[in-house]
A and B are shown apart, each in its own frame.
Chain A
Amino acid sequence: MKRLFPILSIVTVAALAYALYEALVVAPTDAQQGDVYRIIYYHVPSAWTAFLLFFINFVASAGYLARSSEASEKAAKWIAIGIGVLGIIAPYVPLVRSRIPPGMEPSAVATTIVLIPVFYFLVMKFFPGDRLDILALTSAEVGVVFCTIVLVTGPIWARPVWGIWWAPGDIRLTSTLVMWLIYVSYLVLRRFSSSAQTQKLAAALAVFGALDVPLVYLSIWYFRTQHPQPVIGGGGSMDPRMLHILLFSWLAFLLFGFLVCWSRFRLELLQREVEQAHAMESMAGGAESVKMSLPLGRSSR
């Protein structure tokens, strides 16, 4: 594992460099916006990465809460399976299918919903015990960073193209701002809480925040239909060449995000182990069996 990190770092740097090259040089100039639009290759992948990380935070937090008792863990497992089954079937049922907004395929909706149990089981399997909480913390922190990039690049893009810094009805930018606020408050709670159960409290807040996100979308969406506003970022289809570069850029961002998360994860893991060892240090020293072997079940890599 220790060799993988430097190799991956080099690959990531190369990918990011190439993505930049593609974004600035290779990508065709936009017919309407000229060269200014190129910021999209940073703006959109940041957004997708942030959302992915917040999604992981939700799954990890829900899992952490579920793990607090055997009964709740079993219940959570069945709920996850239920969501998966529902996700596969529901979008194809005529009643639901008619409600899906135009432009979205039922298969896309199904895939998104099925991702919930998939991620849940993956995360529960590979992150035992305290590591699940560290995953939640890491994904929130790195997610906030990417979210900040989105919020900074958004107005920078909007100003030269649409003449305004911000449009309150812009559903994507506004809901991103709300998500940023929610996850920053999550991080503040983590920092300021002096409770022994900080991890559980933060997990509860994360679940609340995640439940809030669809409601945020709904409220802004409806508000916008009643108060037509300029839409920043445009919609509609994209030139396939641009799409390719966008996707590659996203891949580079994902690699970068993964590296940062991994480092942060390991740092937090080590910090907690040090704290535990520190706490258990016997002042008198000697014969008491103090558990100095690596806690948190870390194998020696």
Chain B
Amino acid sequence: MNVSSPAGVSVIHVQDVVKRFGRFAALRGVSAEFDAGRFHAILGDNGAGKTTLLRTIAGLAQPTEGKVSIFGKSPAEACRDLGYMAHPSLLYDEMSGMENLRYFARLYEIAGDAKCEEAIRAVRLDPSLTRGVGQYSQGMRQRMSLARAILHDPKILLLDEPFSNVDVHSAREMVGLLKGMRDGGKTIFVVTHQALLLDGVADEFVWMESGRIVDRTASAVRATQGSVP
């Protein structure tokens, strides 16, 4: 169990972040602070900038203007505290779960199999499975991807559409796992279209439109016109 900042302390600062791709601005000046130990859901229509914001926080995208700081450091410097997961699995299809995690463990200078097995068991999968990850069902693959993301016990988890194309049962299981991680002290960000799945679990719902944060609510229902949760 890792010791993170007590809930209520803001650990991620997004300052006036602008992200331009040529003529298109994906983020038009986003400023926000996010507290530790909370579960934040990021919602909005396609093109609202949710994925871009998440990737900018993860350090996978560089802001055109503005900056992101995590525990006072840049995302690149804070990378050991970040775990990232997206809709593609970020795993090698031809290798088994353990083989995949063993390799990724090396990227974090983690020796030995113990942490890999622990991570796989934490997502309720079997470490002894030898078949390639490419042959898993979508739900299993997403969970293995989550195992990869939590392998190095990061304080912050960033997940981009983890429930897409996953059956309802697996999705609920994942939500349960994430809730457990939040309860254990991790800070969680989930970008999703399916706000209702996180109702009652997420501490905060962040609504985005046209590259800006337009609202932050405690419930999954937002009473304004023109937005579909």
Contacts and interface: CB of A to CB of B under 8 A. Distances in A.
Consider the complex of A and B and state whether they touch directly, i.e. have CB atoms less than 8 Å apart.
yes
Interface of A: 196-197, 275-276, 278-280, 282-284, 288-290
Contacts of B62: 196-197
Contact of B20 (A276, A284, A288, A290): A276
Interface string B20-57: 11111100110000000000000000000000000000
B194 interface: no
Contact of A279 (B24, B61, B212): B24
A282 B28 contact: yes
Contacts of B25: 279-280
Binding site secondary structure of chain A: loop
Nearest to B61: A196
Given A196-B62, A197-B62, A280 B28 contact: yes
How large, as a class, is the contact surface on chain B? 10 to 19
A283 B62 CA distance: 24
Contacts of A284: 210
A279 B210 contact: no
Contacts of A288: 28-29, 212
B154 to A, nearest CB: 25
Interface of B: 18, 20-25, 28-29, 61-62, 64, 210, 212
A279 B29 contact: no
Contacts of B23: 275, 278-279
Nearest to B21: A196
Query: Which 10 A-B residue pairings sit nearest by Cβ, starting from the closest?
Result: A279-B25, A279-B20, A278-B23, A275-B23, A279-B23, A283-B210, A280-B25, A279-B24, A196-B21, A275-B22
B49 to A, nearest CB: 12
A280 B18 contact: yes
B215 to A, nearest CB: 14
Nearest to A197: B62
B18 to A, nearest CB: 7
B221 to A, nearest CB: 23
Given A196-B62, A280-B20, 13 more contacts: A196-B21, A196-B61, A196-B64, A275-B22, A276-B20, A279-B24, A279-B25, A280-B25, A280-B28, A282-B210, A284-B210, A288-B29, A290-B28
Nearest to A281: B25
21 contacts: A196-B21, A196-B61, A196-B62, A196-B64, A197-B62, A275-B20, A275-B23, A276-B20, A278-B23, A279-B20, A279-B22, A279-B24, A279-B25, A280-B18, A280-B28, A282-B210, A288-B28, A288-B29, A288-B212, A289-B29, A290-B28
Nearest to B65: A291
B61 to A, nearest CB: 7
Contacts of A196: 21, 61-62, 64
Contacts of A276: 20
A189 to B, nearest CB: 16
Most buried by A among B21, B23, B210: B23
B21 to A, nearest CB: 6
A197 B24 CA distance: 15
A290 B24 CA distance: 14
A290 B22 CA distance: 17
Contacts of B64: 196
Contacts of B20: 275-276, 279-280
A77 to B, nearest CB: 23
A288 B25 CA distance: 15
A201 to B, nearest CB: 13
Nearest to A198: B22
B32 to A, nearest CB: 15
Contacts of B29: 288-289
A276 B212 CA distance: 17
A203 to B, nearest CB: 15
Nearest to A276: B20
A275 B20 CA distance: 9
A117 to B, nearest CB: 30
Nearest to A288: B29
